[in-house]
Amino acid sequence: MTLVRFVVGGVWVGSALFKVADPVASANAVRAYQILPDSLAAVTGYALPWVELSLGALLILGAFTRIAAIATALFMVLFIVGVSQAWARGIALDCGCFGGGGLVSELPVTDYLTVIGRDIAIAAASVWLALRPNTYFGLLDSKPNPRPDTEETP
Amino acid sequence: MARKSVKTDRAAKAAQLRQEAARKERRNKIAGVSIAGIAVLAIGGGTWFGISQGNKVDSAAAPEGATSTLGFPVTSAASTDGAVRVDIYEDFQCPACGSFESAAGPGLNKLVEEGDAVVNYHMMSFLGPESVRATAAAACAVDAGKFGDYHSELYAQQPAEQAGGYTIDSLLAAGTKVGLDSAEFTSCVSDQDYATFAKKVDVAATKRGVDSTPSVFIDGKPYELGGPIEDLIKSIKEAVK
């Protein structure tokens, strides 16, 4: 479980780091999904990398693990919905999952199934983590000391 | 005596443990509030940074010759108001655009020369910094009135995708080849005057629903690429009537 926490957190931080430097491209990547009205898509694109970075940091630190894990699972559901609707509507899309502009330079395009499968895997891991948020090396949510309890009751 | 001392020892130890637990809880509370605060600040600050960057792109000036949709027009002496408007969305780095240009370029140029069509090239740059440099340089060529030649020249020497091509030096050398060697052009390319504008083209294209390059619109209507290039030329000619 401790490993799951670090892996999911690491994926968030990794994906965020590719995006924070270029907020305009991030906004455009959200726009490419053609779901949100323009101004809302832009703000979502600006905020998303920082939300991802925060969730990743919380998971890696082991703080508010349950909340961060539930949020991660919800985001994965949203991402799956976004990718699926683009797929269904025939929008050529580079998912922009790990940065990039969300556009493609030639067909064939993104393997939508791979993206969705990856999101499902992360969502499943997050749900598991939400059920058992106390793992080792956590700053706030930590497993109790694994040594036998030495405290004496008077 | 001995028993009593053990008892007080135990009580003291219990009190100490309780105190330690309370201290730990307090510490965790402070850490929790700080961490939550930092996260909120990061998200807020990051969003604000994004909005300011977005505004900078929105207010970036386009070259004077660009169309209202940020296309760079290729016209000729024969161009008239009746010419068909062809909008083409490309990225200087995209390999498919390179093949498209080598296949369709001559035919499109002929249509322009004969006054049948005006081609507006929307030079996107979502493939990376190489594309941004190339688009920014192309905008300088628009200012100098030689975009058409420069566009063809850049595609003729298209570098491998995302491998550091389209350096300032190579962009200047390409300009020299088509007679772009003025001091204005050189400083415009070297200083990347249009680098911020380049991103604006991507935003405008995405808003229009362009999802891949190359994309072609004839008279504002999307044209499905994939068939032979002769079909594209034919479709443009048909639109002339």
- Per residue in B21-50, pLDDT (tens digit) is 999 889 989 999 999 999 999 999 999 999
Distance CA B97, CA B102 (A): 9
Ranges assigned E (strand) in chain B: 72-74, 84-91, 117-124, 215-218, 221-223
Percent of chain B with pLDDT over 70: 98
Put simply, the answer to whether B43 touches A109 (Cβ < 8 Å) is no
B32: left (phi over 0), alpha (psi -120 to 50) or beta: alpha
Residues B65-72 have a mean pLDDT of 95
pLDDT beneath 50, residues of chain A: 108, 145, 147-154
DSSP string of A53-106, one letter each residue: HHHHHHHHHTSSHHHHHHHHHHHHHHHHHHHHHHHHHT------BTBS-S-BSS
* Segment B97-145, tens digit of pLDDT: 999 999 999 999 999 999 999 999 999 999 999 999 999 999 999 999 9
pLDDT per position as a tens digit, B54-65: 999 999 999 999
B129 CB neighbours in chain A (<8 A) are: none
Instruction: Round the average pLDDT of chain A to a whole number and report it.
Output: 86
**Are residues A28 and B126 in contact, defined by beta-carbon separation less than 8 angstroms?**
yes
- DSSP annotation of A135 reads B
Instruction: Give how far Cα A143 sits from Cα of A57, A134, A147, Å.
Output: 19, 5, 11
Q: How far is B84 from chain A (nearest CA, A)?
A: 26
How many residues would you count in chain A? 154
d(CA B195, CA B182): 19
pLDDT at A56: 96
Query: How large is the average pLDDT for residues B175-200?
Result: 96
Among B121-125, B167-171, B220-224, the least confident range: B220-224
Best of A13, A18, A24, A104 to disrupt the B interface by mutation (most B CBs within 10 Å)? A24
- Please check whether residue A40 touches B, CB under 8 A: no
- State residue A150's pLDDT score: 43
The residue in chain B having the minimum alpha-carbon distance to the alpha carbon of residue A105 is B213
pLDDT for the residue A109: 59
- Give me the interface pTM, i.e. the ipTM: 0.83
Q: Above 90 in pLDDT, residue B80?
A: no
Taking contacts as CB-CB distances below 8 angstroms, the residues of chain A near B201 are: none
For residue B195, what pLDDT is reported? Answer: 96
Q: Express each pLDDT in A98-110 by its tens digit.
A: 877 667 765 545 6
B91, B203, B208, B216: best to mutate for the A interface, most A CBs within 10 A: B203
How confident is the model at residue A95, as a pLDDT?
Answer: 79
Chain B residue set in contact with A, beta carbons under 8 Å: 7, 10-11, 13-14, 17, 28, 31-32, 35-36, 39, 42-43, 45-47, 49-51, 53-54, 57, 91, 93-97, 124, 126-127, 161, 199, 202-203, 205-207, 209-213
